Structure 1
Amino acid sequence: MSPNPLELHVAHADLVGQIDGLLQSPWRPAFRLIYFDPPFFTQKTQSGDEGSYSDRWDSLEQYVATIAHWIESTFSLLADDGFCVLHADYHASHYLKVAVDKIFGYRHFRNEWIWHYTGRRVPARRRVNSKHDVLLVWAKSDQAVMQPVYEPWTRNEYLHMKRQALHRDPDGREWIWGHQGRGKSKAYRIYVDQHVERGRAIDSVWDIPILNTSAKERRGYPTQKPVALLERVIRLTTKPGDWVADFAAGSGTTGEAAVRLSRHAWLGDVSDQAIRVMRTRFGMGEG
């Protein structure tokens, strides 16, 4: 748990206003994670029961330049050992990566996480169904270190993956041989129960359900992301007590995930509708 009471700030301002306010304030946290979930260049107006926003742009070049400028503007607010995560999809993720590589440096690009989700599928005519988003991850420096995250798996799944002979101690505890390279195939014992209990280290493809229309956590704001997705991002890139920022926070999912995991959160948005949804979500009243 965080040693101090958790702080959750909701700022009603555009990105420039939020950054100016933080830079001029004697109170300025160093964010361990800055998460961006901008419009995806769909060239549509995204609408929900509790709000809408325009995702229409004059050109792809304008869109990429705008998103890159937003990210570059927040660079000084990111801790030296912090991470920037940019959420995108097939519309422009490859263009965004090239642009943001110029800000952080190509060698500081750490990961491409794939969020795979289910949903209605139709037979391919022009292209197959797009059922994933892309989260691009940069570290500010070599100091940035991720935190191990594991997912559950069963004894049978573990043994199937290992494909080795199973041994038992006199007390019945199961183990297999571990190796330390070629010619050292019986170097130490791996106890099955320990690895099953810990879970399996995650990889870069995440199967996390998208929010359906009747999900309890749905707030009515368009393109809302599931809390489970943001919890994984936050677990990987921060520790309890760290600060997380989302300068275009929409429905506030980043803040809910942060508080659940004992992190402090800065949320902001220029939209009156988004601010109303967030303040209601966090019981802040009209404010």
Structure 2
Amino acid sequence: MAILGLLVICTAIPGIVAPGDPTTVSLPDALSSPDSHHLLGTDQFGRDILRRVVQGARVSLLIAIAATLLAGVIGTTIGLVAGFVGRFVDSSAMWLVDVMLSFPAFTLALTIVAALGSGTSKVVLAVGIALIPVYARVARAEVLSIRERPYVEAARASGSSNASILWRHVLPNAAGPVVVLATVSLGTVLLAASSLSFLGLGAAPPSPEWGAMLADGRRFIGRAWWIPLFPGMALLLTVLSVNIVGQWLRERTDNR
């Protein structure tokens, strides 16, 4: 959680951790090793790696959070409606979800980006669409259990409309597992978004995105190891921290 807190600071106010423009080019300082002036060294254009890693936290995390929100909102809505209404709506929605689940999530995201074109917004859309079926399945499973509870039957007997029951009674009680799923899957989303950027389909240069920085640094790994190492370590620590916190939340939820 301390690592995630530092990442939040880097995302909200990166100038406090590493002030300066991460895209500033200084050819005389190109491929400088870590020293007192450049704590993490510089890349092939003389850009400071520390600034780019810190500023890259904003780009990478915002992409991952936006894609998670997109998948969570749309997938949860589909699951809520399908599970509560049932019958033809449920069977049709789950048939569509099954079709989407037949494709590996990253392959589906890669196909969508290839069709729409590269760019940050395209990555958010592609990764978000690829993860919609997971949220739809989880939300539907919760709704199928909740809609038979006594308080839902009491609300229906008191004359509440289906929309009111769904909004006031079903959604709040189904939100817990969905929030835990979003926390657990955030690391996977971050990896998928960085992978697309690594392939040149994400943020356009010179944007400091971790996946793009890894792609740039692999050409110099033999003589400038610091270029791919530090964005890779940032990605590793972020995904590891998110997974640990997500598993902790899931265990607490399961115990309750």
Same fold by TM-score greater than 0.5: no
TM-score if structure 2 supplies the norm length?
0.27
TM-score if structure 1 supplies the norm length?
0.25
- Of structures 1 and 2, the one scoring higher in RCO (CA 8 A, sep 6+) is 1
The structure in which a higher percent of residues are strand is: 1
